Structure 1
Amino acid sequence: MLKFRSFVVSIAALFVISALCFPSACNASESPVRLFLQESLDSEGKQVALNPKLMEILTYFERQTGLKFEPIILPWKRAQSETLEGKGIIYGFSRSPERLKAYHFSLPVVTERVWGITYGRPKPNYRHVEDLRNKIVSTGRGFSHGMEFDQARDVIFKVQEDSASTVARFKKLMAKRSDLMVWPVRGYQHHAEVEEYINRIIVKESNDPELKGRYFDVTDQPLFYDSTHFASAKGKYAEVLKKIDQAIARGTKNGSLNKVLRGYH
């Protein structure tokens, strides 16, 4: 009888230990959450490898939530439609009045300054949204750059949505087929830093002969501010978004989220 009682106690203890396991261990057997990410193409239309810093951020959220992500790279509009159909969640998504009707957004992960990039002399003096009246503004296809941007598009300025090829957008700017490109940047606060980054990293490392020796200007101040989020279709993945929100709130409070975001451009 004593042995039987000991056996029962041991089994009960195992259940208790299982119930108290760490989130990552508890969720190890759960299906991965499909996470849709924006594709980025080079000048030949080939997919550019994911930014290692982005992978570090996603690993941070896996560790903090106990979730396992299955990253899927898609054209941005398709990523949005797949999310809307409840096939997964999306990351790097901006809010807009229209999107708020259909998507459930996490807390902001990061706030971005949205700068304008121009080409040629004299350098235009774009400082406020009203300065963009009747201008052609180049964005990536399917992109929003925040609430103010969406309220002004096709009212104050005309939006030209381009492919995911950054090089193609620079060439359109050089050819005067657009007046400026909008470019979100997370890590830099001053336009001189952004300008150096654009010319020294983005343009130079494209290795495109048509961009060789070209220099692009950046507006003296951000034109818009935007926040990026995880998001799902309304009524879908509620528990996943709840865990992500908890991780964002906790990471913001203890500084760990800001630390992992440092250097993410």
Structure 2
Amino acid sequence: MLLSYFKNILFCLLLLFCTMSIAEEDRLIITGNNSRAPKIYLDEMQHPKGYLIELMNIITKEINLTAEYKLQNWPKAVEDANLGKYAIIGFSRSNERLKIFDFSEEPLYYDKIVVVTTKKNPLKFETYEDLKNKKIAALRGANYGYIFEKMLKENGFNYVETFSIESQLELLLQDKIDGFLIGPGAEGLNSAIMGAKNPEIQKRRNEFRILKKPFNLDPNYIAILKSRNQKPLLNKIDEALKKLKAEGKLSHIYGDK
């Protein structure tokens, strides 16, 4: 009897959680990466910053919402988005993600994903075949689009999962991997080096190099778990983004990126 009572209570709590909206009244609650400056990050005062944040603030104002941010490490951000707690930005499409997430149709931004290695490592990247049997690291929960997903499934490289960019930098300096993927371009690498807590990384920063050819140009979207039934909201975001672009109100964000 008591067990049945607690089961009913648990069911009600789960039902309440599942019916809570990510867009509560006039707020849109958004998660994302807390350490991808200048794209998206928390500053020293733990305030959300970056051009994705600025972009979302403009878009949400256009549709009469206020954006509230829960930026955190990327694996936790993806986990919370998978649970339907928040919308997520800086999110790449993939076949697996399309099964459980609704995405905006319009990309918020195109992320230049590059391969980072060291000057002493002979790694080259002219075609994807060049990465075959190479140890390439990426953040847990990261997905850099369809080509990345395809290479993972087909063992296009030896995938090394990490929990931070700093650990990838350390693994490179220790010759434990051949390279890792990062965006947006040189900005992302420089930000990671400057933000590293390990002094050895900054001391040896000149040992890193970015391969000339980008891994890909990865469109980033805003996405919400399908069970949240927020496709109408995503449609409004799409319409606002198109309108703002047409009016030239986002040129200061897109113009030099």
TM-score by length of 1: 0.74
- Aligned residue for 2:246? 253
SS in 2 for 1:134: coil
- Aligned residue for 1:124? 123
Percent identical among aligned pairs is 24
- Does residue 156 (structure 1) correspond to residue 156 (structure 2)? The answer is yes
Q: Structure 1: any 5+ residue segments left out of the alignment?
A: 1-28, 42-46, 189-193
**In 2 relative to 1, CA 223–68 (structure 1 residues): closer, same or farther, beyond 3 Å?**
same
1:209 to 177, 181, 199: 199
Deviation per CA, 1:93-121: give whole Å up to 9, x if none: 00111001111110211112211000132
Q: Residues of 2 paired with 1:34 and 1:204: CA distance?
A: 29
Deviation per CA, 1:60-113: give whole Å up to 9, x if none: 122222111221123333333333333321111001110011111102111122
Letter in 1 for 2:170: K
- Aligned residue for 2:146? 147
Q: Structure 2: any 5+ residue segments left out of the alignment?
A: 1-23, 37-41
Bigger Rg, which one: 1
Letter in 2 for 1:131: D
> Which structure's residues are more often strand, by fraction?
2
- Aligned residue for 2:87? 89
Number of residue-to-residue matches in the alignment: 221
- Aligned residue for 1:23? none
**In 2 relative to 1, CA 220–151 (structure 1 residues): closer, same or farther, beyond 3 Å?**
same
In the TM superposition, residue 262 of structure 1 has moved relative to its aligned partner by 4.6
In the TM superposition, residue 183 of structure 1 has moved relative to its aligned partner by 1.2
In the TM superposition, residue 199 of structure 1 has moved relative to its aligned partner by 6.8
Letter in 2 for 1:75: N
1:30 to 25, 30, 46: 25
2:68 to 67, 70, 88: 70
TM-score by length of 2: 0.76
Runs of 4+ in 1 over 6 A off after TM superposition: none
- Aligned residue for 1:18? none
